């Protein structure tokens, strides 16, 4: 029996390795056939490896090797990393990335790599001040300093830091699984996932930093070290804003007294993080940029696209402005209702409610880039639910929208992708219930 598993494991390793080598060599995002063939091969290898691995140590080594295949890769599926390096470079010039958009300050002589980074980041990034919170900015500044005037060296530096944080996520996830009395092998559903490897190590998105601090915060919560939990959650929010969503759940889980202790760590951490960037116009500038993800940008959405279509039928125009106000109210009210209705469950189980709340948020969001779902995958790997695995694999289909002539989403692709995810989610809820650990 074990011999058969080893053969299947070797097959999975071979398939995934070939796929990652192809992706690391470079595939343009408009080359959908090559891109999906490589990703599909990696996904098949991922499932075969995860199903036939016996120890978490094997998963750690395999996942690290896959990441190292991208060591010298220049991101081609997303321009975000070039904006990261731009933000880092202008900080070295004492320019606040939250105040000035690249197009308002750009000159070819601004710094040596300015022309290349400005071109590579694309029109969207050129038009707005930075959205990436302080912890990310500190890293961007350090990498820009360390890498000097060589973009390739800066990208390598960024990738090395991200790989280290991902190793940290692996360790934290392992400790959470042990604390939650879940099989440690389940960490592979996160760590070996091709979307995670491609988007974090390949395309250099910073969800790995977010999840390291977020996971560490939740681990310290479970160990009843509430002030330190607040510090780590503050660092998570200082990386990306999304952990704010989980604070009402923490209030119910911890109770008022413990939650106040958590705030003693959280609030000073946020102040320290933001203080170096403080200017009188910071709040207004940052909110104006942040709100674009709710009232202007649209990509790979699900429920919102249905609402938008209904809006066209009823009022004859895009109602994203309405939805940007209505959805936060509906979502916030839903979270509060859930906290009250499921209070007893929340006092015993924190991870599954967090997974469900994040799921509801991304189902209603107007913009859902594939890497946004990596947080759902991480928390899903700590439970018995596997719909996040399906979602992350299906979400890669959103790259179908990119073509030589711009972005054009397919209603058929979206319907198939989200339909599959919804079916698996409903099946798991019906089979396991909402109190499953």
Structure confidence at residue 437 (pLDDT): 44
Q: Contact 3/54 with Cβ under 8 angstroms?
A: no
* Same domain as 338, residue 243: no
Last residue of a domain, one of 278, 313, 328: 278
With respect to residue 157, please indicate whether it lies within any of the assigned structural domains: no
- The whole domain housing 337 covers 298-437
Structure confidence at residue 49 (pLDDT): 96
Structure confidence at residue 436 (pLDDT): 46
With respect to residue 101, please indicate whether it lies within any of the assigned structural domains: no
* Same domain as 239, residue 344: no
With respect to residue 257, please indicate whether it lies within any of the assigned structural domains: yes
Q: How far apart are CA 32 and CA 382, in angstroms?
A: 32
Block mean pLDDT (10 aa), the chain, length 437: 83 96 92 94 96 92 97 92 97 96 95 96 94 95 92 95 97 96 96 98 96 97 96 97 94 94 97 95 91 86 93 89 90 90 80 94 95 97 96 95 88 95 94 67
CA quadruple 353, 358, 360, 363: dihedral, nearest 10? -160
Structure confidence at residue 432 (pLDDT): 82
Domains contained in the chain, number: 2
What's the whole-model pTM score? 0.94
Number of Cβ within a 10 Å radius of residue 278:
11
SS (H, E, C) the chain: CHHHHHHHHHHHHHHHHHHHHHHHHCCCCCCHHHHHHHHHHHHHHHHHHHHHCCCHHHHHHHHHHHHHCCCCCCCCCCCHHHHHHHHHHHHHCCCCCCCCCHHHHCCCCCCCCHHHHHHHHHHHHHHCCCCCCHHHHHHHHHHHHHHCCCHHHHHHHHHHHHHHHHHHHHHHHHHHHHHCCCCHHHHHHHHCCHHHHHHHHHCCCCHHHHHHHHHHHHHHHHCCCHHHHHHHHHHHHCCCCHHHHHHHHHHHHHHHHHHHHHHHHHHHHHHHHHHHHCCCCHHHHHHHHHCHHHHCCCECCCHHHHHHHHHHHHCCCCCHHHHHHHHHHHHHHHHHHHHHHCHHHHCCCCHHHHHHHHHHHHHHCCECCHHHHHHHHHHHHCCCCCHHHHHHHHHHHHHHHEECCEECCCHHHHHHHHHHHHHHHHHHHHHHCCCCC
Q: Tokens 């978490």, residue?
A: 56
Structure confidence at residue 404 (pLDDT): 82
With respect to residue 108, please indicate whether it lies within any of the assigned structural domains: no
With respect to residue 103, please indicate whether it lies within any of the assigned structural domains: no
* Same domain as 382, residue 303: yes
* Same domain as 426, residue 304: yes
What tens digit of pLDDT does each residue of 265-314 get? 999 999 999 999 999 999 999 998 888 878 888 999 999 999 999 999 98
CA quadruple 66, 72, 75, 77: dihedral, nearest 10? -40
Contacts of 193 (CB under 8 A, 6+ apart): 46, 374, 377, 389, 392, 393
236: left (phi over 0), alpha (psi -120 to 50) or beta: alpha
319: tokens are: 């109602």
* Same domain as 380, residue 331: yes
With respect to residue 195, please indicate whether it lies within any of the assigned structural domains: no
Q: Contact 147/116 with Cβ under 8 angstroms?
A: no
With respect to residue 354, please indicate whether it lies within any of the assigned structural domains: yes
What does the buried/exposed string (b/e) look like for 100-118 if buried means 16 or more CB atoms within 10 Å of the residue's CB? Answer: ebbeeebeeebbebbeebb
* Same domain as 367, residue 257: no
Q: How far apart are CA 94 and CA 357, in angstroms?
A: 39
Q: At what angle do helices 207-222 and 247-274 cross, to 10 degrees?
A: 120
Last residue of a domain, one of 250, 278, 306: 278
What tens digit of pLDDT does each residue of 187-203 get? 999 999 999 999 999 99
Structure confidence at residue 1 (pLDDT): 58
* Same domain as 315, residue 263: no
Q: Tokens 């000159």, residue?
A: 107
Last residue of a domain, one of 278, 306, 338: 278
Please give the angle made by the CA atoms of 384, 47 and 394, to the nearest 5 degrees. Answer: 80
Structure confidence at residue 9 (pLDDT): 92
């Amino acid at each position: 029996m074990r011999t058969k598993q080893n053969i299947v494991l070797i097959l999975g390793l071979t398939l995934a390795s070939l796929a990652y080598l192809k992706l690391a060599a470079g595939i343009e995002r408009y080359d959908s056939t090559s891109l999906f063939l490589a990703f599909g091969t990696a996904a098949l290898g991922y499932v075969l490896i995860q199903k036939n691995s016996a120890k978490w140590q094997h998963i750690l080594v395999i996942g690290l090797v896959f990441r190292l295949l991208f060591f010298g890769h220049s991101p081609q599926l997303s321009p975000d990393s070039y904006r990261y390096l731009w933000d880092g470079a202008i900080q070295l010039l004492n320019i606040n990335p939250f105040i000035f958009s690249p197009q308002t300050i750009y000159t070819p002589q601004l710094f040596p790599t300015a022309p290349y980074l400005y071109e590579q980041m694309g029109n969207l990034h050129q038009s707005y001040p930075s959205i990436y919170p302080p912890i990310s900015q500190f890293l961007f500044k350090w990498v820009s300093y360390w890498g000097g005037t060589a973009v390739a060296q800066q990208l390598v530096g960024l990738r090395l830091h991200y790989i280290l944080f991902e190793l940290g996520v692996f360790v934290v996830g392992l400790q959470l699984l042990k604390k939650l009395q879940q099989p440690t092998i389940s960490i592979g559903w996160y760590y070996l996932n091709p979307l995670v490897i491609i988007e974090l190590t390949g395309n250099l998105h910073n969800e790995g930093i977010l999840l390291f601090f977020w996971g560490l915060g939740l681990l310290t919560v479970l160990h009843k070290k509430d002030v330190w939990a607040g510090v780590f959650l503050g660092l998570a929010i200082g990386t990306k804003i999304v952990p704010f969503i989980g604070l009402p759940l923490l209030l119910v889980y911890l109770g008022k007294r413990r939650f106040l202790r958590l705030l003693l760590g959280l609030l000073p951490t946020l102040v320290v993080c933001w203080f170096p960037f403080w200017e009188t116009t910071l709040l207004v500038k940052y909110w104006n940029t942040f709100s674009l993800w709710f009232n202007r940008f649209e990509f790979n959405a699900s429920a919102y696209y249905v609402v938008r279509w209904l809006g066209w039928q009823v009022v004859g125009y895009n109602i994203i402005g309405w939805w940007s106000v209505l959805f936060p109210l509906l979502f916030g009210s839903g979270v509060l209702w859930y906290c009250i209705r499921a209070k007893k469950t929340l006092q015993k189980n924190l991870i599954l409610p967090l997974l469900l709340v994040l799921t509801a948020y991304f189902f209603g969001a107007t913009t859902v880039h594939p890497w946004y779902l990596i947080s759902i995958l991480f928390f899903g790997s700590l439970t018995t639910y596997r719909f996040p695995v399906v979602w992350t694999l299906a979400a890669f289909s959103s790259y179908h929208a990119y073509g030589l002539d711009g972005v054009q989403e397919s209603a058929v692709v979206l319907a198939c992708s989200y339909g599959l995810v919804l079916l698996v989610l409903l099946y798991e809820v019906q089979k396991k219930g909402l109190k499953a650990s």
